[in-house]
Amino acid sequence: MLRRFRIVAVFPVSLLTVLLITQCSGGWHDPSPHSVRFVTVDKTVPLEVLDWGGSGRALVLLAGGGNTAHVFDDFAPKLTNQYHVVGITRRGFGASGFRSDDNTADSLGGDVLEVLDALKLEKPVLIGHSFAGLEMSSVANQHPERVAGLVYLDAAYSYAFNNGKGADVMDMIKLKAPQPPGPQKADLASFAAYRAYVGRLDGFAIPEAEFHFQRKARWFGRVGDYIDHPGGSMLMAVLSAGKKYTQIPVPACFIYASPHSLGQWVEKNPDPAVQADARKFEASLEALDAKQIASVREAFPADTLITIPGANHYVFMTNEAEVLQAIRSFIAGLK
Q: Look at residue 222 and tell me if it is in a domain.
A: no
- Can you list the alpha helix ranges (DSSP code H) found in the chain? 15-24, 105-119, 132-142, 169-174, 191-202, 208-212, 231-241, 264-267, 272-299, 315-318, 320-332
d(CA 159, CA 239): 7
Q: Look at residue 143 and tell me if it is in a domain.
A: yes
Query: What is the mean predicted confidence (pLDDT) over 62-77?
Result: 97
As a whole number, the mean pLDDT across the chain is: 90
d(CA 77, CA 32): 8
Instruction: Please give the share of the chain, as a percent, with pLDDT higher than 70.
Output: 92
- Place 7 in a pLDDT band, splitting at 50, 70 and 90: very low
- Place 101 in a pLDDT band, splitting at 50, 70 and 90: confident
CB 284 within 8 A of CB 335: no
- Place 102 in a pLDDT band, splitting at 50, 70 and 90: confident
Query: What is the mean predicted confidence (pLDDT) over 136-158?
Result: 97
**Enclosing H/E stretch for 260:** none
Q: Rg for the chain (alpha carbons), in Å?
A: 19
Q: How many CB atoms lie within 10 A of CB 239?
A: 21
Q: Look at residue 24 and tell me if it is in a domain.
A: yes
- Place 26 in a pLDDT band, splitting at 50, 70 and 90: low
Distances (CA, A) of 332 to 40, 137, 155, 238: 32, 21, 21, 34
For the cut 90, the answer to whether the pLDDT of residue 326 exceeds it is yes
- Place 17 in a pLDDT band, splitting at 50, 70 and 90: very low
Query: What is the mean predicted confidence (pLDDT) over 306-325?
Result: 97
- Place 16 in a pLDDT band, splitting at 50, 70 and 90: very low
String of DSSP letters for 214-247: TEEE-GGG-EEEEP--THHHHHHHHHHHT-----
Q: Which residue type is seen at 313?
A: H
Nearest of 8, 273, 300, 331 to residue 161 by alpha carbon: 300
Q: Look at residue 304 and tell me if it is in a domain.
A: yes
d(CA 85, CA 97): 22
Q: What are phi and psi of 154, to 5 degrees?
A: 45, 50
- Place 106 in a pLDDT band, splitting at 50, 70 and 90: very high
Listed in sequence order, the residues at least 6 apart from 275 whose beta carbon sits closer than 8 Å to its beta carbon are 266, 269
For residue 155, give its domain range.
Answer: 15-178+228-332
- Place 171 in a pLDDT band, splitting at 50, 70 and 90: very high
Distance of CA 40 to the CA centre of its chain: 21
Question: What's the CATH number where 102 sits?
Answer: 3.40.50.1820
Tally of domains within the chain:
1
